[in-house]
């Protein structure tokens, strides 16, 4: 307070000096503009330019020189405009779309989980942002996914991904799902998800990377999947859209051995585009010593050299794992040997 009074006193002395100088100049005839015009003008310029004036006007520039009454929010709730045609149910998982509007949780890219809807809002007939929805921040329980996408206690602390407006999953399914939030806990009733505006990632997920950067996908194969790979190849990475080509970079395949071995004769594996008749994306993956191993075993897959094919054979095509042999794998009567494939890939847009 004393500092401010001192500043104001100095400012007053400056103004008096200016007025005296202007009066002298007018008296000797060298200043033609009336005092009633020039003095207020000079005063206004000096006042706004001075730190005191700016603080009085409430527009301080630069670092603080005094305490500041900074507004705050509790951060427990946020209001977002609802995307057009969307209906949001109270208690549902809400995402923020790439354009900044609230939308029900669903499989989509470019979105991010915001929290739990605190109310029911219907914008099916309104434009973007015609109505708003209140969204609660915090930790809330949603449904767990099943099979390979089920979230376990060992995943606590990791990110989880949006499946729909009440379900979350363990992975982004090859970059096709958006981040819901961080896994806070897991119990028999579902997954407790912690929501924050920008989830803090321990590692960078595929959905966070530049489209041309290397991405990663993990696919779990059941025993039945393995035994039917010739007739029914398994999708490793989904098609990315018109004019977009998936570049297969590499893969690691892990055989999770069960109680007895698979059998094969002249059967190998390969990564292809679209289906079992599609263009090859990888070199042959030797199966002797891998698929028939009697212990947990790992092998790798490398991209095909000079994979020259028509663009139409690769654009907007998934990449799949296929048994290229003359028959399906046999054996493993216990039906308990499984496989996990970790794929590295890039996406190129040739539009």
Question: What DSSP state is assigned to residue 155?
Answer: G
Predicted pLDDT at 202: 47
Give the CATH number for residue 226. Answer: 2.60.120
Please tell me the total count of domains within the chain: 3
Task: Give per-residue pLDDT as tens, 315-334.
Answer: 999 999 999 999 999 999 99
What is the secondary structure of 163-229 as a DSSP string? EETTEEESS-TTTTS-EEEEEEEEETTEEEEEE-SSPPPSS--GGGS-TTS-EEEEEEE-HHHHHTT
pTM above 0.75, yes or no: no
* 71 within a domain of the structure (yes/no): no
- The chain-wide mean pLDDT, for the chain, equals 86
Residue 67 lies in a domain: no
- How confident is the model over 182-224, as pLDDT tens digits? 999 999 999 999 997 455 444 555 555 566 788 889 999 999 9
Query: Is 229 in the same domain as 315?
Result: yes
Among candidate residues 173, 189, 207, the one where a domain is terminated: 207
Give the CA distances from residue 55 to residues 1, 59, 184, in Å, rounded to whole numbers and listed in that order.
Answer: 13, 6, 45
Secondary structure of residue 29 in the 3-state scheme: coil
**What residues make up the domain containing 20?**
2-57
**Do 189 and 302 have their domain in common?**
no
Please tell me the predicted confidence (pLDDT) of residue 56. 47
Please, what's the b/e burial string for 201-226 (b: 16 or more CB within 10 A of its CB; e: otherwise)? eeeebbbeeeeeeebbbbbbbebebb
Please tell me the predicted confidence (pLDDT) of residue 62. Answer: 74
């Amino acid at each position: 307070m004393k500092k401010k009074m001192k500043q104001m006193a100095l400012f007053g002395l400056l103004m008096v000096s200016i007025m005296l100088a202007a009066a002298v100049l007018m008296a000797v005839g060298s200043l033609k503009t009336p005092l009633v015009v020039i003095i207020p003008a000079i005063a206004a310029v000096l006042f706004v330019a001075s730190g005191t004036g700016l603080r009085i006007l409430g527009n301080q520039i630069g670092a603080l020189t005094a305490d500041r009454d900074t507004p705050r929010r509790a951060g427990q709730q946020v209001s977002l405009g609802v995307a057009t045609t969307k209906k949001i149910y109270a208690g549902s998982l809400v995402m923020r779309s790439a354009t900044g509007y609230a939308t029900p949780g669903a499989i989509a890219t470019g979105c991010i989980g915001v929290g739990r809807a605190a109310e029911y809002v219907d914008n099916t007939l309104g434009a973007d942002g015609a109505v708003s929805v209140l969204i609660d921040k915090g930790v809330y329980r949603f449904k767990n996914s099943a099979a390979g996408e089920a979230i376990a206690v060992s995943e606590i602390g990791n990110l989880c991904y949006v499946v729909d407006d009440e379900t979350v999953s363990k992975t982004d399914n090859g970059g096709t799902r958006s981040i819901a939030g961080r896994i806070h806990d897991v119990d028999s009733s579902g997954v407790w998800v912690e929501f924050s505006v920008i989830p803090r990632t321990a590692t960078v997920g595929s959905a966070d990377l530049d489209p041309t950067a290397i991405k990663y996908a993990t696919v779990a194969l059941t025993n039945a999947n393995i035994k039917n790979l010739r007739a029914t190849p398994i999708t490793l990475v989904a098609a990315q859209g018109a004019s977009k080509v998936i570049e297969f970079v590499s893969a690691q395949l892990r055989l999770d051995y069960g109680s007895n071995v698979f059998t094969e004769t002249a059967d190998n594996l390969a990564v292809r585009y679209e289906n079992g008749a599609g263009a090859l994306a990888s070199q042959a993956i030797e199966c002797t010593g891998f698929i028939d191993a009697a212990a947990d075993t790992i092998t790798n897959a490398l991209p095909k050299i000079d994979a020259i094919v028509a663009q139409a054979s690769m654009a907007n095509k998934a990449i799949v794992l296929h048994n290229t042999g003359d028959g399906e794998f046999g054996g493993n009567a216990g039906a308990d040997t499984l496989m996990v494939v970790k794929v590295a890939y890039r996406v190129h847009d040739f539009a």
